[in-house]
């Protein structure tokens, strides 16, 4: 299966036909077109199998995810000017992304589905939305002071 004449593509796995935007082309031995749902299923089973078969895969994946998150954080810090809005410090190790009007817990719930640690969801959201004004950079001290001021009006 492959492309159809009217611009649609047929999924090799489930047979559903749709536009090219909702397909992933896998380069295994040939172009293996799968719709996003089939590709997601394939990807998840592949990763699960790798975790079971290769004991070092989890450690490699963790290191790769940490590097990716560091790059993302650096990109967002540069996008917001690289300095704390409160005190002007420019040390990237202590700069955090802050919700200007509060509501970080609600935003994490909305972005991730659970009010736990963000794991980069806010950073991805800020980058994908073009560094909106509802986020700001604060150092950890200024962020903590802002939190304390909300407790004691």
DSSP string for residues in 42-89? HHHHHHHHHHHH-TTHHHHHHHHHHHHHHHHHHHHHHHTTSS-TTT--
pTM above 0.75, yes or no: no
Share of the chain above pLDDT 90, in %: 30
Does the pLDDT of residue 66 top 50, yes or no? yes
The tens digit of pLDDT for each residue in 131-143 reads: 999 899 999 999 9
The tens digit of pLDDT for each residue in 112-125 reads: 555 555 567 888 88
And the tokens for 89? Answer: 């410090």
Give residue 27's pLDDT band: very low, low, confident or very high (50, 70, 90): very low
Read off the pLDDT of each residue in 34-55 and give the average, rounded to a whole number.
84
**3 state SS of 4:** coil
């Amino acid at each position: 299966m492959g492309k159809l004449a009217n611009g649609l593509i047929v999924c090799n796995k489930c047979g559903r036909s749709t536009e090219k935007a909702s397909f992933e082309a896998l380069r295994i031995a040939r172009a293996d077109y799968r719709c996003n749902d089939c590709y997601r299923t394939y990807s998840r089973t592949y990763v699960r199998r790798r975790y079971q078969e290769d004991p070092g895969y989890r450690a490699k994946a963790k290191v790769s995810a940490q590097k990716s998150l560091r790059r993302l954080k650096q990109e967002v810090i540069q996008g917001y000017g690289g300095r704390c809005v409160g005190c002007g410090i420019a040390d990237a190790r202590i700069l955090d992304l802050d919700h200007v009007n509060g509501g970080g817990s609600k935003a994490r719930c909305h972005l991730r589905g659970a009010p736990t640690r963000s794991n980069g969801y806010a950073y991805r959201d800020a980058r994908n939305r073009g560094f909106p004004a509802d986020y700001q950079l604060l150092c950890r001290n200024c962020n903590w002071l802002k939190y304390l001021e909300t407790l004691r009006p």
